[in-house]
Amino acid sequence: MSSERLAGLLDEYAELEKRLADPAIHADQATARRVGRRYAELVPLHKAAGELEQARADLVAARELAAEDPSFASEAESIAATLPVLEERLAELLIPRDPHDAKDVIVEIKAGEGGEESALFAGDLLRMYTRYAERHGWVTEVIDAQDSDLGGVKDVSLAIKTKGVPEGGSGVWSRLKWEGGVHRVQRVPVTESQGRIHTSAAGVLVLPEAEDVDVTIDANDLRIDVFRSSGPGGQSVNTTDSAVRITHLPTGIVVSCQNEKSQLQNREQAMRIMRARLLAAAQEQADAAASDARKAQVRTVDRSERIRTYNYPQNRITDHRIGYTAYNLDLALAGELDGVLDALTEADRAARLAGDTELTRR
């Protein structure tokens, strides 16, 4: 256990506690939220360090008493037995955590191979994440969506946020960061008249939502185009050029939004997605020399690169990265994802304890 790292984090905790006690910080809600999130991340560490320090002090006192009165020996042994557990807990908390764990996210779902069936499956994934968010008391917002003719979605961006400061610094990203990649479905499509099982796929990209302080965007690096919104089949949604397409010239990243009725609203929504994508791109560039779980997210919707399979005939959900399989697909699609997400989190925890920074994927 690194005593220097522990001391530094405890000093940071004390400083953050002072800042939050100053009423002036709440004049800037963005700053107060950011400081509050970091403080919440350090609360478990502060608590664990305090419990360990108290246990060690109690052990010294119990041994001193046992030297005078043997009846205290059993109490000393009992306290001594708790130390390894407390030390292990503190050691886990000292492992560097994902810096984005407390953040909210933007989930992008894109239909891939499989035509209308893929779009219907993308719609199922959208409902799955929305229901999961509801179960956790999170807030969801569809930023932009392109619907398909049969009621699915071709492309959708969904913002998911916690209410207030997440407990222990475990925000939406800490749970949903594992969802990035290609999701494959095996079932009989509604468009299949012969009853044959088809395989199609949809791509999911999960981005930590960036705040203004996370990403600096030069207005001169942006090209902003406006165009007329359209619905399924090219049907006109409105008769004004309210849809917005923003291109970040240095990186070539393009974001389009047409859900809102006003051009200004669409521009603001597009900039939210742009900031998140640029933050993710900067993180990947910074981690280029090291393998990272976030780099495993698949940007192309290729069925061969799947991370998870949803098999309807067997009511089975399988995550191929850790070999997880459960026969409760109906419950998972209804938002009960904690089983697979807990398994992924535990696999990551074990890998980090072993000194491996990459979640096992196959």
Chain segment 323-360, per-residue pLDDT in tens:
999 999 999 999 999 999 999 999 988 887 776 655 54
| pLDDT, average across residues 297-314 | 71
pLDDT of residue 240: 62
Query: If 0-12 CB within 10 Å is exposed, 13-18 middle and 19+ buried, where does residue 51 land?
Result: middle
* CATH classification number, 219-289, choose in 1.10.10.10, 3.30.160.20, 3.30.1130.10, 3.30.70.1710: 3.30.160.20
> What band does 57 get if pLDDT is binned at 50, 70 and 90?
very high
DSSP 277-314: HHHHHHHHHHTTTS--GGGG---S--GGGEEEEEETTT
For residue 133, CA distances in Å to 107, 121, 166, 271, 294 come to 12, 18, 13, 23, 21
- Within the chain, all domains assigned CATH 3.30.160.20 are found at 219-289
What CATH topology corresponds to 105-212+300-354?
A: Alpha-Beta Plaits (3.30.70)
Q: Is the pLDDT of residue 238 over 70?
A: no
Extract the tokens encoding 164: 């207030």
pLDDT of residue 293: 42
139 bridge partner residues: 161
Phi-psi region of 141 (alpha: psi -120 to 50; beta: other; left: phi over 0): beta
pLDDT of residue 358: 56
198-208/253-257 β-pairing: unpaired
Decide: 108 and 317 in contact? Cβ < 8 Å: no
| pLDDT, average across residues 21-28 | 89
Q: Is the pLDDT of residue 117 over 80?
A: yes
Cβ partners under 8 Å of residue 264, min gap 6 = none
Extract the tokens encoding 351: 């890998």
pLDDT of residue 212: 66
Give the end-to-end CA distance of the chain in Å, rounded to a whole number.
Answer: 31
Decide: 122 and 154 in contact? Cβ < 8 Å: yes
Q: Is the pLDDT of residue 27 over 70?
A: yes
Q: Is the pLDDT of residue 296 over 60?
A: no
Q: Is the pLDDT of residue 361 over 70?
A: no
Rg (CA), the chain: 25
pLDDT of residue 291: 45
- Within the chain, all domains assigned CATH 1.20.58 are found at 1-94
pLDDT of residue 114: 67
pLDDT of residue 303: 44
Q: Is the pLDDT of residue 362 over 50?
A: no
Separation of alpha carbons 218 and 235, rounded Å: 35
Separation of alpha carbons 361 and 82, rounded Å: 35
Q: Is the pLDDT of residue 169 over 90?
A: no
Extract the tokens encoding 194: 């012969």
Q: How many CB atoms lie within 10 A of CB 218?
A: 9
What CATH topology corresponds to 1-94?
A: Methane Monooxygenase Hydroxylase; Chain G, domain 1 (1.20.58)
Q: Rounded mean pLDDT of the chain?
A: 85
| pLDDT, average across residues 214-240 | 72
> What band does 138 get if pLDDT is binned at 50, 70 and 90?
very high
Separation of alpha carbons 102 and 53, rounded Å: 27
Q: Is the pLDDT of residue 11 over 80?
A: yes
- Within the chain, all domains assigned CATH 3.30.70.1660 are found at 105-212+300-354
